[in-house]
Amino acid sequence: MVIFETVRLIIRQYTLADEENFFRLNGDPEVMKYIREPKGRQECTIFLKRNLSFYEQNPLMGRWAMIEKASGAFVGSFAIIPVETTDRSRHTEIQLGYALLKEHWGRGYATESTRAGRQYAFDIMKLPVIVAITETANLASQKVLLRSGFIQQANIHEGNKPLCYFTSRNPNVIETERLHLFPLTLAQLELYLKGNDGLEKELGLTPFGRTVAPQVRDMVTKFTLPKIYEAMPEDYLFYTFWLVVDKQSRVIVAEMGFKGPPVDGGRVEIGYGTMPAMQSKGYMTEAVNGMLQWTAGRRDIRLVLAETHASNVPSIRVVEKNGFIPLTKQGEMIWWKKIV
């Protein structure tokens, strides 16, 4: 299974047929110098099988084979995996890493795979932040991380060993106290419209038998998807659905979105809806607050509008609690504005 591709590389899941290459990599003391103790052949086989089992429970994560497109040659490993640490404050972190066979050093594959892997972690996995850790003497990997959008933080310690610690934050994922907000890519939105919990399974969310109303599916298919095609890669954020997920339960509790990109010097309009079973829990007030923080961080947005029905008291309370003020009323609809 292919995870992602770059111009020159394919990153795919390992299979048992990779056993020899897996040993060549993980058994080489020079390659493993800054990673872990080199393993013998039998240890590598056990390690490989353990990684294959990991895929079953974590389809979006793992250690993967790095393949050169032009030749089909095995280049090395690329990984996005949970951090192994004794520090309880960091036990939820996800880290990125790589290892290359010596014959492929110095060809730019480390930077190429790291940049694409970071984007995969942001766009597909929806991670709010990804980390990377190197030994202090591994200057080459530190340069790769800095070239790839990571920022070096203060050193950390595992045992008595100091380690270099890097982070990269996803600009298009929002975290609040209880919630995780993120936009769906084109492929993810198409999967979302099918219902049947397909997207939930792909993203590791809790399935609950979600369905999509036929009129919503038709409207998105006819109008929204074509606009996303035209707006790629950046402006799709203003056409797609943003999901609101409870961080603890991993359940989708609401949907949000914009009604187009900024116009007239920075004006956008937001829309939102809470899942029926999740109403009256303060989710939408919190989610709108998170979205306002995101808009405040963008130079192209100056004013956020929202529209409510005059009889929709819960929706009116959401905008009022978030500092919106009435702008105008047209029939039964009230327009609200918030300067960011």
pLDDT over threshold 90, residue 4: yes
Mean pLDDT on 245-260: 95
Tell me the C-alpha to C-alpha distance, in Å, between residue 59 and each of 13, 152, 204, 230, 256: 10, 29, 8, 30, 26
253-268: string of b/e by CB count within 10 Å (b at 16+)? bbbbbbeebbeeebeb
pLDDT in tens, 284-333: 999 999 999 999 999 999 999 999 999 999 999 999 999 999 999 999 99
Query: Domain 2-169: what homologous superfamily?
Result: Gcn5-related N-acetyltransferase (GNAT) (3.40.630.30)
pLDDT in tens, 130-141: 999 999 999 999
Going by C-alpha positions, the residue among 151, 174, 118, 141 that lies closest to residue 294 is: 174
CA 316/CA 266 separation, integer angstroms: 23
Parse the chain into domains and list their residue ranges.
2-169, 174-339
Q: Contact 337/304 with Cβ under 8 angstroms?
A: yes
Specify the pLDDT at position 90: 83
CA 290/CA 314 separation, integer angstroms: 18
Going by C-alpha positions, the residue among 30, 14, 9, 13 that lies closest to residue 140 is: 30
Q: Residue 146 corresponds to which tokens in the numbers above? A: 């800095």
The amino acid sitting at 28 is D
> What is the arrangement of strands in the sheet containing 174-175, beginning at the earlier edge strand?
174-175, 179-183, 242-246, 252-258, 267-274, 303-309, 333-339, 325-330
Going by C-alpha positions, the residue among 52, 130, 122, 126 that lies closest to residue 96 is: 130
pLDDT over threshold 80, residue 234: no
Least confident of 33-42, 43-52, 125-134, 210-219: 210-219
pLDDT over threshold 80, residue 151: yes
pLDDT in tens, 212-222: 889 989 999 99
> Cα 193 from chain centroid?
20
Asked, colleague to colleague, whether 2-169 and 174-339 share their fold, the answer is yes
Fold of 174-339: Aminopeptidase (3.40.630)
